Amino acid sequence: MGLEIAAGKIGQAVAQQAARAWLAKRRKDRDRTASLAELAAEELAKPHQRARLEHLVEGIGHQVTEQLEPVLERCGSLPDNEIEAALTAVLDALREIDLSDDALLADDADPEVLARRIRRQIPAENGPAVRLYDLALDQACRYLVQVVRQLPSFQPRALAEVLSRASAQTAQLDEILARLPRTSLHAPQGTSTDDEFRDEYLRYLAASLDRLELLGLSMKNRPKLALSVAYLSLTVSGTGRGNRDWFGSPDDRAHSGVRIESALRHRTLVRGEAGSGKTTLLDWVAVTAARAGFTGDLSEWNDRVPFPIRLRRYADAPLPAPEQFLDHAAPWLAGLMPQGWAHRCLRSGRALVLVDGVDEVPPGKRHVVRDWLRELCLAFPDARVVVTSRPAAADQEWLGEQGFASVLLEQMGPTDVKVFIERWHEAARGAASLPCPVDALPEAQRKLLSQLDSREHLRALAANPLLCAMLCALNLGRTSELPRNRMELYQAALTMLLDLRDAEREIAGLLTTTEKTVLLRDLAWRLTLGGRSQLPTLKVREHVARKVGSMPNVDADPDAIVTHLLERSGVVREPVPGQVDFVHRTFQEYLAGQEAMQDGQVETLAGHAHQDSWSETIVLACGHGQRAQVSELLTEVLDRADREPTRARRLRLLAAACLETITDIDAGVHDRVDEVIRTRLVPPRSKKETRSLVTIGHRVLRYLPACLDELSEAAAVATVRTAALTATPEALTKLAGYANDPRSEVQRELAEGWLHFDPQRYAEEVLADAPLQRGAIMVKARRLFPHLPVLQHLAAVKVAVSREDTPDTLSFLDDVPSLVQVSLSLRGEVDLSPLGAHPRLSVVALFGAREFTGLDTITGLRELRTANIHQDKALADIEFLRGTRLEHVSLSAVEPGADVSPFDGLPLDYLGLHDWPPYDDLSLLALLPRLTDLALLGSTASSAVLGLERYAPKLVTLRLLGPVAEGLSVARVLPNLRLLVLWGKGMTLDLRPLEGLPLRIRLDRSDRHVGLDRVTVDRWI
């Protein structure tokens, strides 16, 4: 019994019972359990009158059916036998229940009471479909009560007369049933207002977050730039989900130099240093999702509902439940939210949870955050979640068990810096107050870009978005030289923010700049000691009142001082009513470090040196300290490293990082730090160690070896990466010395480094005479194309640029020499004809376009061995495969009935099919006798797994992505199977059928697994 038939039967049962109760009310002296025919015969002597009653009841049944069917479809994924059992039980309950209770016919009859009575008198059996039973029974009771209420009133008139007027009543009933909330456990009050509230919430969110403050300009007149306009996409490296597990080969749209929009996955941990743009990224995602403005890789996020969550606001409070998600993101709308709405968004997979600032949670509470995220993902596996943190607070595996991919925000390259500066100055035109005339902005921009070109230290600073913004602001108002290092830059920015041009506008200040600094230093130190990033406004007032007691020249009221700091300092703010924080955490760390040294808190700093949340404060404190203080601090940090082996590397890295800001230190202590770097930290042993080494800054270059001959391949690769990540001109000399190392992975890493430098200089100074990977190089940005001719040993070019860097036509590849491989994400309609100009192509991997035309170009590429063709529209045919020499093919959906004979004779060893029509079998595989590796993705994964042993007995590898729960037993009848890759996209997978098999198994952490203890997991993906 299908859902449609079941809904019809339940509808008729509701109508029959309602009519029986109605007629029994008219005949109080009769048995209320009499049949409808018996009750009707008492008053309706003529056949046509009884027919009219039957027509009325039948019409009511159809009305109920029409409303009930979409409710029951929520459980349509259950097996047919479970659906039939549950709905048969509902029918039996409706037919058997005694409806003689007068409460059913009262004006205030309660359907919930009726449903509870039915459950009490006729208990249901537990089973997989119990939710369907509950849903159908509850809704049927609601319809039953509404039908009885709306039938004609029980006046002592002839039933025939009542029936003659019933048509108007049934029309009214139809309207009422349509308005009746379709309630459930997840929607106890229905969902009728969900869409209206969603639209209002998204409008509010888009408006409230679509702003980007130009940090460094006057607080009062600081222009707000539309974030949606000014947003600059940044690049990431990291460990996104390996597509090699689905497409059978390495994902050449690789994990370095990728734009963040292309790297975001179902669950993503975004890691980035201070000022790298993490919060801005989440705000942009929220605004773009709210306006359905995504294109490319994130287009499927357009119908998602963003829930921004700032973890700093929960330092002293429990983390929010779904019903509290709006308390901070949209407090003015939280009270209007329909009951259960946030849960419904999460459960349906429409939610986009944006969690900002793991590093802003005290270290002792971070495990609570991780547990909260784990529970969130278990309860709502289809919700998309993005989490941000500084790297020191969360390594790339911090959320690995929850199925999170991890990416690391990279510093801006030269091109990005120029774009950033252009957008900053364009936005500054909207400022009501500037330190220069508006028409002077173009010249200021040219001046800054010129200084960046000529001064290496400024280029290093500008690679960080926060510091680049500060340089832009300082450049507008300075005639003297711009700062040479971070300490000078922060101090100059603070001086400008604290002054706020009040003197220029002849505004009298309540406090001097020095007095403001003293108070803010104290506040920053108290926040840091407490492991916090914000405080209640009342607490801030208490701290200010206490500090003012030691400032003899300040006699203003503490409330007035707090107000003045919030309104006039430009350094602290009130992000939400009643809470105060610094406009950027970097300012808190800079001022806290200054206060620590001013107050002689060296011992306190050393005691917290192992905590990542204190690292930046300690580094900046060294820039403020006197020689004796700095020497004492680093001595204690290194002594702790010797005493505490489990913390030794972190402590030694911290001591080395402090050299960046120190201006004067005891020579013996300096020598000790130098020795630690040379003997304990450099060269790095693996890629994992490179990121922490970069915290030392560009001076790490002086410790790296001049050549790589004495290093293992892993250490050599890590050394190249360390030099490249400094992204400084000095690194070019070091990398040039490594360029002749012939090892393949070293050459791959040198090619990766190209993204971090001026492309022309890097090509000329590093890659010009490099052997590359036997003459091959992977190119991941279009801006590198013009410089390929400089590479003397170039024999093969592989192109894998991001979607954002890919135009709408493949003609952009026309001038790429020796092209052998393309891996691209595209959009719209794309003509493949330009690929015909590259006869050496051996790999073509194209994803994301609405439709590819010119597919016959594939047929003409005689060297082609791999073709991955994935488009949104179903392929009309696969004729382009016929007669090729392809060994590796992956295809998106084809139209039902498409001819599969082009597979015949292909020497395929790998085949991937995504959302192919649900054939009863995959007999087409019999055309591929060499096939050893099969990937079934999407709906294909569940359509034909159980026949594979007949058509593909030689399979060694099977990859299933999609609803695969029913097909795992096939592994027992594939004699050669050795690798099984499974991703159920959040579903529960029963692994017990795999017990005892000689298999390597790869699983996704976002799935739930039964019998995990009975199998050996080769790798989590």
pLDDT digits (tens, 9 = 90+) for 45-86: 556 555 666 666 677 777 777 777 776 666 666 777 778 888
Q: Is the pLDDT of residue 10 over 90?
A: no
DSSP assignment letter at 935: E
User: Which residue has tokens 């097909």?
Assistant: 967
Q: Is the pLDDT of residue 34 over 80?
A: no
Helices (H), 659-777: 667-676, 690-694, 713-726, 729-738, 744-753, 759-762
Q: CA dist 723 to 610, 652, 737, 757, Å?
A: 26, 19, 11, 11
Residue (of 649, 732, 735, 663) closest to 695 by Cα position: 649
Q: Is the pLDDT of residue 221 over 60?
A: no
CB 235 within 8 A of CB 272: no
pLDDT tens-digit map of 302-325: 879 999 999 988 877 899 999 999
d(CA 681, CA 690): 10
Structure tokens, 934: 């099969």
| pLDDT score at 220 | 54
Q: Is 782 helix (H, G, I), strand (E, B) or coil?
A: helix
Question: What is the third-level CATH fold of 213-410?
Answer: Rossmann fold (3.40.50)
Q: Is the pLDDT of residue 249 over 70?
A: no
Assessment of whether the complete model's pTM goes beyond 0.85: no
Q: Which residues contact 10 (CB under 8 A, 6 or more apart)?
A: 64, 65, 68, 87, 90, 91, 94, 136, 140
| pLDDT score at 325 | 93
Minimum mean pLDDT among 131-135, 442-446, 793-797: which range? 131-135
d(CA 1007, CA 1009): 6
Minimum mean pLDDT among 154-168, 199-213, 656-670, 776-790: which range? 154-168
Q: Which residues contact 656 (CB under 8 A, 6 or more apart)?
A: 673, 676, 677, 681, 695, 696, 700
Domain locations along the chain:
3-179, 213-410, 412-493
Minimum mean pLDDT among 116-120, 591-595, 605-609: which range? 116-120
Q: Which of 571-575, 737-741, 845-849 has the highest mean pLDDT?
A: 737-741
Average pLDDT, the chain: 82
Q: Is the pLDDT of residue 966 over 60?
A: no
d(CA 875, CA 869): 9
| pLDDT score at 218 | 56
Q: Determine the residue type at 875.
A: L
Q: Is the pLDDT of residue 164 over 60?
A: no
| pLDDT score at 921 | 59
* Backbone Cα Rg of the chain: 35
908 falls in which pLDDT band (50, 70, 90)? very high
Counting residues of the chain whose pLDDT is more than 70, the rounded percentage is 80
Q: Is 889 helix (H, G, I), strand (E, B) or coil?
A: strand
Helices (H), 27-110: 36-41, 47-72, 80-96
Q: Residue 235 forms beta bridges with which residues?
A: 259
| pLDDT score at 641 | 97
Q: Is the pLDDT of residue 591 over 90?
A: yes
- The predicted model gives 916-926 an average pLDDT of 69
172 falls in which pLDDT band (50, 70, 90)? low
Q: CA dist 731 to 315, 626, 673, 761, 997, Å?
A: 41, 31, 22, 12, 51
- Tally Cβ neighbours within 10 Å of residue 975: 9
- The predicted model gives 522-538 an average pLDDT of 93
pLDDT tens-digit map of 417-434: 888 898 888 878 877 677
